[in-house]
Structure 1
Amino acid sequence: MIVKRATIEDSNRIFNLANAAFVPSPWPESVFEHELKSPRSQYFILDGGFLGMTQILDEIEINSLAVHPDNQQQGIAQQLLATVFSLPNVTRFLLEVDESNVAAICLYKKMGFSVYYHREKYYKNGHAAIMMERKVSVTN
């Protein structure tokens, strides 16, 4: 599996993956198009999944990570995260996840994230958002 940086031409593919993974996508395709044009946002894609992120200085916020249901449990999310973790000069990775998404929370913990905050009743379904971070030290 080869991870590539997504381009604007991948917006429909990303939207379709989000639509399948989140049933339906919480974002319209126009959001992906906008983010793919933004200099602060990057998307990485491979067969069956994508990861969207925003970098500000030495922090990366993972805005979305989706794997098509037919491709889950195949290491796709881990490979996407590993790609982002290899980016230089980053000291902190942030993300939020629905408290009911136990599989994702377990994956994030396995990948070195820890919980730092709960946002109660954050999502439309009334669930809390679990705020997670992964700190790393940068050596010069």
Structure 2
Amino acid sequence: MIEIATTKDLNTLFDIENRVFANDSFALSKNSLRYHLSNNIIYKIEQDEKIAGYILWLKRKNYYRLYSLAIHPDFRGLGLASRLLEYSLENLDKEKFSLEVKVSNLDAIRLYKKFGFKVSRILKDYYEDIDGYLMVK
């Protein structure tokens, strides 16, 4: 099941964030997640009656920016990221989307390309340790 996350999901979302982005300086704090729950769109996906992952979209004037996509390690390989992305693209009220991704994150790049995202440009030193891609759809 996919639905909009609420503040009651905060602790679980924060746990997923910490597991997926444990050593990442871009990881969201609990306060950041709380802010996004109130001001942006976070879809959660459930598997076996547990929140298994989420996708966070920032609404801009003419497009949405995919800010974070995380699937709990226990639920990887089930196609949940694809389901979240597909659901988002079908339910958000814009036709244009963007995201940034590490050039080394080949699984994510492959997923985004599957849904029509294309590399728009290289973002030099975007992440602490590596370049990023700006991808658009």
Same fold by TM (over 0.5)?
yes
CA RMSD of aligned residues (A): 1.4
- 1:93 equivalent to 2:97? Answer yes
What's the offset of the Cα at 1:109? 0.6
Alignment match, 1:120: 124
Alignment match, 1:76: 80
Task: For structure 1, list consecutive stretches of 5 or more residues without a partner in the other structure.
Answer: 135-140
- Percent sequence identity is 28
What's the offset of the Cα at 1:56? 2.0
Alignment match, 1:138: none
* Aligned length, in residue pairs: 130
Alignment match, 2:18: 19
Alpha-carbon contact 1:18-1:24 (below 8 Å) kept: no
What's the offset of the Cα at 1:15? 1.1
2:114 is aligned, of 110, 115, 134, to 110
TM score, norm. by length of structure 1: 0.87
TM score, norm. by length of structure 2: 0.88
Task: For structure 2, list consecutive stretches of 5 or more residues without a partner in the other structure.
Answer: 47-51
